[in-house]
Structure 1
Amino acid sequence: MRIVVLVSGTGSNLQAVIDAVKAGELDVEIAAVGADRPGTYGVERSAAAGIPTFVVDFKAYPDRAEWNSALTKAVAAFEPDVVVSSGFMRIVSPEFIDAFNGKYLNTHPALLPAFPGAHGVRDAMAYGVKVTGCTVHWADAGVDTGPIIAQEAVAIEDGDTEETLHERIKVVERRLLVSTLADLAAAQA
């Protein structure tokens, strides 16, 4: 199974995928890694691992529609079976999702449908829930919506800050992303 991974930041989930592939634990080909802005550590990680990279800088386009079109073309050039949003902080167009037959996988640091959006961890803590977690789902045209594939709970502990909780969620999220990709690859084989 060929994947293209999209990142906006450090690429910690991406690193878990790279490590699993190198260890022979995950049978996918990371065809490329793309970012929405230059200078992301996720792109640097990928280049260091010998993975092709590309940047479709959001700020370089006059509007979202032109950026989405450029992103679609850049990703399509690598012919992925699945596109993985791994900390990619941009909303893509329905046309982007359709171009890849709805095979746009997203990770989110909350138990969707609760606490969608960019501040899921903060929102969960502010609401006072005792358990949150992470979700892997097929993204659709909404914000953190679409069919859920996998979820795992993470308890909110006394004394947690947004940062400490988010770090614990990321550990689970990395494992869940790798296992979900392994299941998808096995189903495709």
Structure 2
Amino acid sequence: MSSDAGESRTRRIVVLISGSGTNLQALIDSINTPSLPNSSIVLVVSNRKAAYGLIRASQASPPIPTYYIALQTYLKEHPGKGRSDYDREVGRIVLQACPDVVVLAGWMHVFGDGFLEEMATGDRQDSIPVINLHPALPGAFDGMHAIDRAYEAFQKGEITKSGVMVHRVVKEVDRGEPILIREVDMQAGESKEAFEERVHKTEWEVIVEATRKVLGAVV
């Protein structure tokens, strides 16, 4: 593909969510703007039926196709299948949308090798990039409840800053190569709610910037 063709082709984004979808909304609002040009969210996948992000997708203009697939529901409907089978099934659903990048935006399920192996198949020479938003700095507060843990650590005098990063997804939780890192200073006397709000606002910026950065590297 020539560079001119690559620049003009609409980049296809698949977003995986589990909750309210505020980070998804940041991506939706940035589509085909200078922040995220020549792009389209072609599918939103949720592992929670009540995730408000599914409504955000349906109310987008134009509406974004959605897919709901929960681990426990999948296991009940497929006796003998396991977690790895579920991961591969999610991967196959994602692949059908032919994405240029897969963005985990509040996806509360840790993928095993199966999902990443699916992303490495198909007609592409390279794996489809899979990136994840995590509200902490690299190597700090991996896994769940990172914002709460950072706030508690600041109250104990253990840290003076936290942050947000988007990283490539690997098997080890939140240990993939960072794509974009943004520090968030801690403020004495600030409530946890106010700190969390500042972190979320930073997330909305970082997830868009990192997605654009990855798409710019896709050939």
- In the superposition, the TM-score normalised over structure 1's length comes to 0.93
Q: Distance in 2 between matches of 1:59 and 1:124?
A: 31
Q: Which runs of no fewer than 5 residues in structure 2 stay unpaired? A: 1-10, 76-81, 120-126
Contact 1:97 1:103 survives alignment (8 Å): no
Structure 1 segments unaligned to the other structure (5+ residues): none
Structure of higher CA gyration radius? 2
Residues 68-98 of structure 1 show CA distances to partners (whole Å, capped at 9, x for unaligned) of: 1221121111111211000001001212113
Tell me the equivalent position of 2:172.
142
Aligned to 2:18: 8
**Aligned partner letter, 2:73:** A
Deviation at 1:48, TM superposition (A): 0.9
Does the CA contact (< 8 Å) of 1:102 and 1:140 recur in 2?
no
Q: Which residue of 2 aligns with 1:88?
A: 107
Identity %: 32
2:147–2:196 Cα contact (<8 Å) kept:
yes
CA–CA distance in 1 between the matches of 2:64 and 2:178? 28
Matched position secondary structure for 1:33: strand
| Superposition TM-score, scaled by structure 2 size | 0.81
The Cα of 1:161 is off from its aligned counterpart by: 3.2
Q: Partners in 2 of 1:126 and 1:34 — Cα distance?
A: 32
Aligned equivalents of 2:88 and 2:211: distance in 1? 26
Q: Indicate the residue corresponding to 1:125 in structure 2.
A: 151
**Cα displacement (A) at 1:24:** 5.0
Larger CA deviation: 153-162 vs 72-81: 153-162
The match for 2:46 is 35
Query: What residue number does 2:6 align with?
Result: none
* Residue in structure 1 matched with residue 134 of structure 2 by the alignment: 108
Contact map agreement 2:15 2:43 (CA 8 A) in 1? yes
Equivalent residues, number = 189
